[in-house]
Amino acid sequence: MKTLLCITSLFISTVFVHADLTIEQKMESAMMNGNMTMKIKGDNARMDMPSPVGGNVTVIMNLKSGDMTTLMHAQKMAIKLNMNDAKKQAEAAQKAAGIDPNKIEKPNATGTKEKVGAWDTEIYEFTLGGTKGKIWVAKDFPDAQAIKEQMLKMSNAAAGGFDANKLDVPGMTVKTEIKTPAGNMTTTLVKVSQDPVADGEFVLPEGYKERKMPALPGAK
């Protein structure tokens, strides 16, 4: 019986890890405000979000090959790059700035509890590369670990950046606040769905002019 339960549990967790995922988040900052929707299906991912320069953009990624296309809808432009190359450049820039993205200290629980949307959360504080921030963690969030693993699959393939899912906390981070030189940057979870995502969501539309992303200054 114990063996059967272990096999069943492993099967369920595997199904959730490979399940389709849609996450909507609200972003608030000096540069960008609005909702961002992320969709993951197998090795494909898509993000729809507002652009800092106006209008909306869509990012379509192949997490296996590293190919990424940014669709700037207002300009009907498709900018392509390889995330593996961009990630190396971003990591080199972080290293030059004295930031180790792989060195993440365990966040400290503040003992403060707060309601975020429909979720009861506890607030944690953290420091990453001199940057201070807070996260609101929902300990009883359904399928939290499976969802975090899906999100990490996308962030690990992308170029640099902070991902609260990498922090060692017991539950799902539903709100993040980071202090930046330009002011606070806040991300709040709106909703999560594990319903099937259509394959067509990851197909590049026709009629967009292709451009290649220029290399970062100083990169080979």
pLDDT digits (tens, 9 = 90+) for 37-80: 999 999 999 999 998 777 899 999 999 999 999 999 999 999 99
The answer to the question of residue 111 being in a domain is yes
Amino acid 182: pLDDT = 80
Is 138 within a domain? yes
Q: Is 129 helix (H, G, I), strand (E, B) or coil?
A: coil
The answer to whether residue 219 sits within a structural domain is no
Over 70: is that where the pLDDT of 116 sits? yes
Residues 160-166 have a mean pLDDT of 71
In a domain, 93, yes or no: no
User: Does 146 fall in a domain?
Assistant: yes
Tell me the mean pLDDT in the region 151-160. Answer: 76
Q: Tokens 């100083």, residue?
A: 218
Q: Which of 39-43, 151-155, 170-174 has the lowest average pLDDT?
A: 151-155
Over residues 117-130, mean pLDDT: 90
The domain of 79 spans 2-83+100-212
Instruction: Note the pLDDT of residue 131.
Output: 78
- Domain-embedded: residue 64: yes
64, 105, 124, 129, 131 from 45: Cα distances, Å:
10, 28, 29, 28, 28
Residue 220 domain flag: no
Q: State the total domains in the chain.
A: 1
Q: What is the dihedral sign for C-alpha 63, 220, 211, 33?
A: positive
- Residue 217 falls inside a structural domain: no
- For residues 95, 97, 98, 101, the Cα torsion angle rounded to the nearest 10 degrees is -60
Residue 184 confidence (pLDDT) above 60: yes
Which of 109-118, 128-137, 146-155, 158-167 is the most confident on average?
109-118
Local confidence band at 213 (pLDDT 50, 70, 90 cut-offs): low
Average pLDDT, stretch 141-153? 90
CATH number of domain containing 141: 2.50.20.10
Helix (H, G, I), strand (E, B) or coil at 60: strand
